[in-house]
């Protein structure tokens, strides 16, 4: 029993009893219509009620913070939507800008060749596995495009249409060995045909074949379409002579050409759907 009076439990009960007696005495001597016990309980519980009220106010403030965060989230979503809209408008602007630039570059060609009928297209696909850099355009047979139509950028010949669907077409470039173009060198007037070997194609080059062994064609010469055969209009620029090589199998020579336009850098071009023969 002596251990109980010395223990923590007894001490806690003693302190609680003292507090209760003191609260009862205080309530008894104060002026109030309530009973002493009620006032005593009130005195004891008052600090806890104040603490609860304080915590409640803080909780309300905390909840208000959540409401504010939700408002910020909605505002951020609105701003992100506006940014997405501005980006879409910027893309449209850039596309229109590129199209206008292409039209400006084609204007001189059209003025010199009013007989040209053409369709503007954008590049919508490239075959990464094709070492000859073929690509797909956004227009097709429903727009009047046909197989063997010439594809140009400004007055540069890029290639020829080889496949046509209603809404798209495939273009093979001048560096593709399957493409053959009747051509001539401007300064000398020497004629031949432009095609490419597999080795030249890998290097992004083609060549003017069928030149005489003693050709006068030299580095820097410009090679254009001759119009022979009626597939390509005359005087479209194909490329510039880099060097002249003698054939190892016969007495002819060929001029290695750097294409006038790099098809890998082109996002829009024109397909000539018809033209008059000069």
Do 159 and 21 share a structural domain?
A: no
Do 129 and 45 share a structural domain?
A: no
| pLDDT reading at 27 higher than 70 | no
| pLDDT reading at 49 higher than 80 | no
Do 183 and 54 share a structural domain?
A: no
CA–CA gap between residue 185 and residue 191 (Å, rounded): 7
Do 259 and 121 share a structural domain?
A: yes
Instruction: With respect to residue 166, please indicate whether it lies within any of the assigned structural domains.
Output: yes
Confidence of residue 15 (pLDDT cuts 50, 70, 90): low
Counting the structural domains of the chain, the total is: 2
What's the pLDDT tens digit per position in 74-89? 777 777 777 777 777 6
Do 244 and 132 share a structural domain?
A: yes
| pLDDT reading at 187 higher than 70 | yes
- DSSP class per residue in 138-184: S--GGGT--TT-EEEETTEEEEEEEEE-SS-EEEEETTSTT--EEEE
pLDDT in the model for residue 71: 77
Do 259 and 162 share a structural domain?
A: yes
Question: In this predicted structure, which of 41-50, 170-179, 190-199 has the lowest mean pLDDT?
Answer: 41-50
Q: What CATH number is given to the structural domain containing 245?
A: 2.40.10.350
Instruction: With respect to residue 203, please indicate whether it lies within any of the assigned structural domains.
Output: yes
Q: Is 132 in contact with 176 (CB distance < 8 Å)?
A: yes
| Residue where a domain stops, chosen among 37, 59, 81 | 59
Q: Is 8 exposed, middle or buried (0-12, 13-18, 19+ CB in 10 A)?
A: exposed
| pLDDT reading at 176 higher than 90 | yes
Q: What residue numbers bound the domain in which 226 lies?
A: 117-274
* CA dihedral for 37, 43, 48, 52, sign (positive or negative): positive
| Residue where a domain stops, chosen among 33, 59, 85 | 59
What's the pLDDT tens digit per position in 221-269? 999 999 998 889 999 999 999 999 987 777 889 999 999 988 888 888 9
Nearest CA-CA partner of 252 in 217, 228, 200: 217
Instruction: With respect to residue 68, please indicate whether it lies within any of the assigned structural domains.
Output: no
Do 130 and 39 share a structural domain?
A: no
pTM above 0.85, yes or no: no
What's the pLDDT tens digit per position in 138-153? 999 999 999 999 999 8
pLDDT in the model for residue 143: 96
Question: In this predicted structure, which of 41-50, 79-88, 126-135, 246-255 has the lowest mean pLDDT?
Answer: 41-50
> What 3-state class would DSSP assign to 231?
coil
- Kindly report the average pLDDT of the chain as a whole number: 79
Region 160-168: mean pLDDT is 97
More confident residue, 195 or 19: 195
């Amino acid at each position: 029993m002596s251990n109980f009076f010395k223990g923590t439990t007894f001490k806690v009960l003693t302190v609680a009893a003292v507090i209760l007696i003191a609260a009862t005495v205080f309530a008894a001597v104060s002026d109030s219509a309530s009973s002493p016990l009620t006032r005593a309980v009130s005195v004891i519980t008052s600090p806890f009620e104040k603490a609860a009220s304080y915590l409640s106010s803080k909780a309300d403030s905390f909840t208000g913070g959540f409401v504010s965060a939700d408002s910020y989230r909605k505002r951020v979503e609105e701003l992100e939507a506006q940014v997405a809209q501005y980006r879409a408008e910027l893309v449209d602007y850039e596309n229109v800008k590129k199209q206008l630039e292409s039209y400006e570059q084609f204007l001189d060609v059209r003025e010199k060749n009013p007989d040209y009928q053409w369709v503007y297209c954008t590049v919508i696909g490239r075959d990464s596995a094709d070492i000859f850099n073929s690509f797909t355009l956004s227009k097709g047979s429903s727009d009047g495009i046909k197989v063997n139509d010439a594809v140009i950028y400004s007055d540069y010949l890029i290639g020829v249409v080889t496949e046509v669907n209603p809404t798209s077409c495939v273009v093979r470039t001048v560096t593709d060995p399957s493409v053959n173009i009747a051509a001539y060198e401007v300064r000398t007037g020497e004629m031949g045909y432009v095609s490419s070997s597999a080795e030249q194609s890998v290097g992004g080059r083609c060549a003017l074949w069928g030149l005489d062994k003693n050709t006068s064609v030299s580095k820097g010469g410009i090679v254009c379409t001759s119009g022979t055969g009626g597939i390509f209009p005359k005087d479209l620029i194909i490329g510039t002579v880099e060097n002249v090589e003698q054939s190892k199998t016969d007495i002819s020579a060929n001029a290695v050409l750097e294409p006038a336009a790099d098809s890998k850098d082109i996002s829009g071009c024109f397909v000539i759907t018809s033209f008059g023969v000069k």
